[in-house]
Structure 1
Amino acid sequence: MGQLQDEIKRRRTFAIISHPDAGKTTLTEKLLLYGGAIHLAGSIKSRKTQRHAVSDWMEIEKQRGISVTSSVLQFDYAGCRINILDTPGHQDFSEDTYRTLMAVDSAVMVIDAAKGIETQTKKLFKVCKQRNIPIFTFVNKLDRYGKAPLDLMDEIENVLGIKAYPMNWPIGIDGRYQGVYNRRKKQIELFSADDSHGQKERESVIFAAQDEMVKNKISEHEYNTLLEDIALLDEAGESWDDDKVAKGELTPMFFGSAMTNFGVKNFLEEYLRLAPPPQPHISDSGIISPEDDKFSAFVFKIQANMNPAHHDRLAFIRICSGKFERNMQVMHVQENKQIKLSQPQQFLAQDRQIIDNAYPGDIVGLFDPGIFGIGDTICDSNKKFRFADFPVFPPERFARVEAKDTMKRKQFIKGINQLTQEGAVQLFEQPGTGMESYIVGTVGQLQFDVLKYRLEKEYNVDIVITMQPFEVARWLEFKNGLEVKPESLNGADRGMFVKDMKGRPVLLVNNEWALGWIMDNNPELILHNVPPDKKEA
């Protein structure tokens, strides 16, 4: 047990969340730079070098400069084993982010200093809040003009309803900050000029707060302003409270610039000091502690074609308890089958290596021959249980999708089914149309672009997407248990009657008004926003 506990204590597993363009992927990469996992940081938007962020591995991400799938990154720093899950910022991929947040013990919220709290940040924050996970805030882009630090603090409190405790404070004039004050150490850190465009670590010099030398480096006005701000924070600001941080009620707040490596190292070190190690998880057999020596894990993500040449499929698992060992035999609970976990992998984005063992908090990729589903539990055969189900997002956009070339029907069916199993889109069949076409439901429009791109690039299938006028899907059942058929529904012609991939009846309608009409005219009908065996996110 001693080794297991030691390994658990040194793990930190967290997601980075933000609105698109707040600098989340850049911060991820700079943490890798300081962790020694990479030696030269590549900027997504760097046209000179045409380098791309390490965490954006999918071709469409490199072309668009956005993250559309969560990526997993692992490295060691200062005695800790760090598992970072970089998440999609775009709202159309909220579902992937939501599932990722089920697999972490804390979250880092990146905020653009000029834009403050944005729409998607609010949504993602709400998910973190529901799970009561600790949230650390990194105010980014301090190298540009932005809102005043005190105004950003107020915004976090007023918009998100969480108290903020600044761990450091910027020194200088808006957009031309020269350093930060570390409140815990009472030290001033002044940075050298960034002459590598953020590709290398930023050099800095540290002074005691009262050191007269500081006055030679910054103006008297800047020095006096800093002292006034610190006095105000100490007198009128929030008090530090470990318990509130652990419950997600108080966010440690850091100021910096990921692009220019300003304050990144300080953030990483303080985060590792304060963030929780792997936490317990809820199951139908009670709370599962990481220290339990019986192995357990759950699948939170499935990714097809990380290696397009082999059409491979990986299931990402979060280890919850016990020690993982290569080739171990475990119980796949949902299928009620014994399986062997061979060729387990860990990642630095698309670079992966076979591992022999792993511990609670670690993220491991398993080759998946098509047996895993999102939310599946795998555990020791002698202690069988299920972890809590993952919530599901109801689809809001619908389209008919078919292959342009009917000769490629086989690749089309294989591709669309594999991509559906990743959980980004939902697949429906319209009775009577066969498998020539499918109805695809998504949370957002961008997912259709990604589906088209990936079917073309990864399966060599061109598709035709015909958008449908529906915005609402409802799973159907009768109170008396009779089978639901189109002819047994009054008003089924007001929408489209389809079946999901488990054969359950679903009605797609244009709006809530049409839904109300159908409910009024079918009093025996029970409607579900998501499949009856799932809960809504």
Structure 2
Amino acid sequence: MTAVSAPSTGEASPETTAGDTGAEARRRRTFAVISHPDAGKSTLTEALALHAEVISAAGAVHGKGGRRGVTSDWMDMERERGISVTSAVLQFSYRNQVINLLDTPGHGDFSEDTYRVLAAVDAAVMLLDAAKGLEPQTLKLFDVCRDRGVPVLTFVNKWDRPGREPLELLDEVEQTIGLRPMPITWPVGIAGDLHGLVERADGRFHRFTRAAHGAAKATSQVLDADRAAVEEGPDWQRAVEELALLDEIGAGYDEQAFAAGTATPVMFGSALSNIGVARLLDALVDLAPPPGPRPDQKGEPRPVEAPFSGLVFKVQASMDRSHRDRVAFVRVCSGRFERGMVLTHDATGRPFATKYAQAMFGRDRSTISEAFPGDIVGLVNATALRPGDTLWAEQPVTFPTIPSFAPEHFAACRVADMSKTKQFRKGIEQLDSEGVIQVLSSDLRGDQAPVLAAVGPLQFEVVSARLADEFSAPVKLDRLDYSLARRTDPAGAEALRSAVGIEVLTRRLDGELLALFPHKWRLQAVAQNNPDLLLAPLVADAL
């Protein structure tokens, strides 16, 4: 894949003054793409960048094992396996708008990273496989969107391959997650034999011719309804009948329902063939909400015109092998960011200088001088910042913290070479602060063998790979037979210390005591025998 330099998006548009923060905020669209693994999320991300003309050729080919890494995949593991295991930011311009596209991990083992990303966006694109429809990981991520009030657009992908009936997919969306589908485009031709798409607003037919391997934009020819009826025959007639049914049931676009999170615009296409992708990009500009007031910890909205405030939603180190630095990703929530300004780190009350501020385009980066609400700013060497932290200027504000997912997998971690103990401790501390893994400790095990707690087992592989590569500290992992964690207090910890098959550890970041159980039946038995013990679910258990 050949990428061009990310555009400078910090400058105000010609129609607005540099200080018109509200006008600049209205030019921003900040969204994430969410999906089940293998639905084509990274391919769609790449195709959107291609249609915005910020990359010159797509690098996706059939089969993940042979796929060249996409722009947003920067870790060796991602490129080798063809999966996204960490989120990335692509910022570019399109139609005089500034697009902040956050590519999220598709694999369920890294859903905690996606959860943090969804705290930083104003909308989400829910990507569905035409053959599989709604899948477990998609459902879980949609629940997070609903919990956060994030409006969702739906893109039914892989329509150039065999799949299900379009009306059946729409019914599944409505019945399973309660979103009323509002098709914007409609396919002509069954799944696997896609001829083109009908634009519901004007009834015109867009016939596509895909480029070889989807490396370039698909060309299209626009036909009116009469000509389409002659040339497409039965396929056109079937599409017309389906569209008439949609009209009868009132499946037209409703802006208020979309904003309220009760309905979803739906588009069809193929990311790999670049069909329908340009229409999705236009829909994001036309329909997705711009940045608006963001509630603080007390529920009071912080207007976009207020002095600068930002939410740290991700911390990532060593994105570029030539720069072993640490980048904090900050969503600008209000005001105008200017490089070099001194902010207040809300968690500590200490000043935080922003001399090294960058715009991100996957692993590529460029220095920026200013940014506005909705933009994502990369602050380099921000060692004091952690996910969930708030930064502000002039007027104090605290945004809600980002809860951690309840871990379900646990492993004791030991350095393989004791001469690398110092590097090991440094690496564990860094990965813990980034949120790559949850690190637990106990008096029994000591610092030599912290317990790693993960949502999914692939997180352990990421930790092992990064400790060996970035810190020259290969490790040994001993899996532990626990699958549940519950919060307890000192009295509960003391009562559980002698219990068989249970371990009490301290979560290092917040000091909470966690009791680990092998399965839910053991938890139930302990709770029944000790009704006064505190055994509370972690904050994000309900999601």
SS of the residue corresponding to residue 128 of structure 2 reads strand
Of 314-323 and 222-231, deviating more is 222-231
What does residue range 301-320 of structure 1 map to in structure 2 within 5 Å?
Answer: 301-320=314-333
Consecutive unaligned residues in structure 1, runs of 5 or more: none
Where 2:160 maps in the other structure, the secondary structure is coil
Which secondary structure does the structure 2 equivalent of 1:254 belong to? strand
Instruction: Tell which deviates more after alignment, 97-106 or 363-372.
Output: 363-372
Q: Indicate if the aligned counterparts of 1:290 and 1:321 stay in contact, CA closer than 8 A.
A: yes
Q: Which residue of 1 aligns with 2:368?
A: 355
Deviation at 1:222, TM superposition (A): 2.0
Aligned counterpart, 1:510: 518
What SS class does the counterpart of residue 526 from structure 1 fall into?
A: coil
Shift of residue 525 of structure 1?
3.2
Pairing 1:197–2:213 present: yes
Residue of structure 2 equivalent to 1:149? 166
Residue 30 of structure 2 corresponds to residue 16 of structure 1: no
More displaced stretch, 224-233 vs 123-132: 224-233
1:429·1:438 contact (CA, 8 Å) conserved in 2?
yes
Cα deviation, 1:137-167, whole Å, max 9, x if unaligned, reads 0000011111111111111111121110110
Partner deviation per Cα, 1:496-522 (whole Å, 9 max, x = no partner):
232222554332222233334444555
What is the aligned counterpart of 1:447 among 456, 459, 466? 459
User: Hey, what does 2:266 align to over in structure 1?
Assistant: 253
1: distance between equivalents of 2:445 and 2:125?
A: 47
Cα contact 1:8–1:360 (8 A) shared by 2 = yes
2:334 counterpart residue number? 321
Kindly provide the amino acid, as one letter, of the partner of residue 209 in structure 1.
Answer: A
- Superposed, 1:420-459 pairs within 5 Å as 420-459=432-471
Whether 1:74 aligns to 2:88 is: no
C-alpha distance in structure 2 between counterparts of 1:251 and 1:119, whole Å: 19
Match of residue 344 from structure 2: 331
Q: Could you tell me how far 1:64 is from its partner in structure 2?
A: 0.9
The AA in structure 1 aligned to 2:501 is R
Distance 1:190 1:499, change over 3 A: same
Q: Which residue of 2 aligns with 1:60?
A: 77
Q: CA deviation at 1:535?
A: 8.7
Number of corresponding residues:
525
1:523 deviates by 5.3
Asked if the contact 1:278–1:290 (Cα under 8 Å) also holds between the matched residues in 2, the reply is no
TM-score (norm 2): 0.92
Contact 1:168 1:183 in 2 (8 A): yes
Distance 2:527 2:63 in 1: 54
Q: What is the identity, as a one-letter code, of the residue corresponding to 1:140?
A: N
1:470: Cα distance to partner? 1.2
Match in the other structure for 2:194? 177
**Counterpart pick for 1:114 among 131, 140, 147:** 131
Residue 268 (1) aligns with residue 281 (2) = yes
Letter in 2 for 1:441: A
Q: Which amino acid aligns with 1:400?
A: A
1:228 aligns with 2:245: no
Equivalent of 1:529 in 525, 531, 537:
537
* Other-structure match for 1:292: 305
Counterpart Cα distance in 1 of 2:268 and 2:493: 58
More deviation in 370-379 or 516-525?
516-525
Residues 428 and 440 of structure 1 are in contact (CA less than 8 Å); yes or no, is this contact kept in structure 2? Answer: yes
1:403 and 2:419 matched: no
Tell me the alpha carbon deviations over residues 207-258 of structure 1, each in whole angstroms, 9 at most, x when there is no partner.
2223x3x355x33222322322222222224232211010111110000000
| Distance change >3 Å, CA 522–CA 223, structure 1 → 2 | closer
Contact in 1 for aligned 2:291/2:304 (Cα 8 Å): no
8 Å contact from structure 1 (residues 44, 53) kept in 2:
no
Identity %: 41
AA of the residue aligned to 1:95:
E
Which range moved further: 222-231 or 503-512? 503-512
Query: Following the alignment from structure 1 to structure 2, what is the Cα–Cα distance between the partners of residues 494 and 220?
Result: 68
Q: In the TM superposition, what is the alpha-carbon distance from 1:195 to its structure 2 partner?
A: 3.6
User: Partner letter of residue 529 of structure 1?
Assistant: P
Q: Is the Cα contact below 8 Å between 2:486 and 2:536 reproduced in 1? A: yes
Give secondary structure in 2 for the equivalent of 1:385. Answer: coil
**How far 1:455 sits from its partner (Å)?**
1.3
Query: Which whole-Å CA distance do the structure 2 matches of 1:514 and 1:492 have between them?
Result: 11
Residue matched to 2:506: 499
1:88 corresponds to: 105
Per the normalisation by structure 1, the TM-score is 0.93
Match of 2:431 among 419, 441, 449: 419
The Cα offsets for residues 329-350 of structure 1, whole Å up to 9 and x where unpaired, read as: 1111101111111111111100
Q: How far did 1:475 drift?
A: 2.9
SS in 2 for 1:55: coil
Cα distance in 2, alignment partners of residues 322 and 456 from structure 1: 41
